Amino acid sequence: MALLEVHDLNVHYGGIHAVKGISFTVEQGQVVTLIGANGAGKTTTLRAISGLLKPSRGSVKFADQMITGAAPHTIVARGLAHAPEGRGIFANLTVEENLDLGAFLRRDHGAVARDKEHALSLFPRLRERLAQNAGTLSGGEQQMLAIARAVLSRPKLLLLDEPSLGLAPQIVQLIFKIVRAIAAEGTTILLVEQNAHQALQVANVAHVLEVGQLVASGPAADLAKDDQIRKAYLGVHD
């Protein structure tokens, strides 16, 4: 069943046509990735889905409800969470206060406490730093916090934007291990990632964006073997 349906999505920044009529679906339980070079429109697509940008044309349907142009807090309340590029943590709040903000719309306090405990089991480094201001964390720890905070809203669909950006290789491996664990627990994920090699390893389905247009789509394992994709995005040359 399609949890997310994006149809003919167009987004403009002033005179720049950043996303040009793309359509794709995300099925329940899948990990779907959007890959492409810088400026391809990947982040813009996620921001339009989560309500941070208003599409100039097209529609976004989530869990059988039209959410095109809806306010971000309304979209979060329906079960769609966004861990943005740049992490978007609150630097002057503690790690625990940041986590609590992830669950601010929830009223099931007992379940929130259990979910927080589970998030801290996924991210043990955060447990050690609960009372620290989030701005004092390393880049990798801030990324962990951004993902954990999004997970605490208990989303049906989690949007992850460049979770490996600027991180050391061993931290990237850890982040993707956690992404796999979250997916294995049943959370549907739409992943934007410049590290195409990692993205194609973790995803079921992949879409390739070039200058705002979808140029290839298919099972991630198939795209990982495609010679053109390998040369353009995986750094593999004959």
Instruction: Say what the pLDDT of residue 167 is.
Output: 87
Instruction: Say what the pLDDT of residue 29 is.
Output: 94
Parallel, antiparallel, or unpaired: how do β-strands 205-210 and 31-35 relate? parallel
| Tokens coding 140 | 């990798």
Instruction: Say what the pLDDT of residue 237 is.
Output: 54
Q: What is the pLDDT along the chain (238 residues), one digit of tens a residue?
A: 799 999 999 999 888 999 999 999 999 999 999 999 888 999 999 999 999 999 999 999 999 999 999 999 999 999 999 988 877 889 999 999 999 998 888 888 898 999 999 989 989 999 999 999 999 999 889 998 999 999 998 899 999 999 988 888 888 898 899 999 999 999 999 999 888 989 999 999 999 999 999 999 999 999 999 888 888 877 665 5
Long-range contacts of 171-176 (CB under 8 A, 24+ apart): 171/139, 171/140, 171/143, 172/198, 174/140, 175/140, 175/143, 175/144, 175/147, 176/201, 176/202
Instruction: Say what the pLDDT of residue 117 is.
Output: 92
Report in angstroms the alpha-carbon separations of 90 from 50, 98, 134. Answer: 19, 6, 7
DSSP category for residue 130: T
Q: Could you say which architecture CATH assigns to the domain 2-233?
A: 3-Layer(aba) Sandwich (3.40)
Bridge partners, 208 (sequence order):
35, 216
Instruction: For residue 98, report the phi and psi dihedrals to the nearest 5 degrees.
Output: -60, -45
**For the CA atoms of the chain, what is the radius of gyration?**
17
Instruction: Say what the pLDDT of residue 232 is.
Output: 82
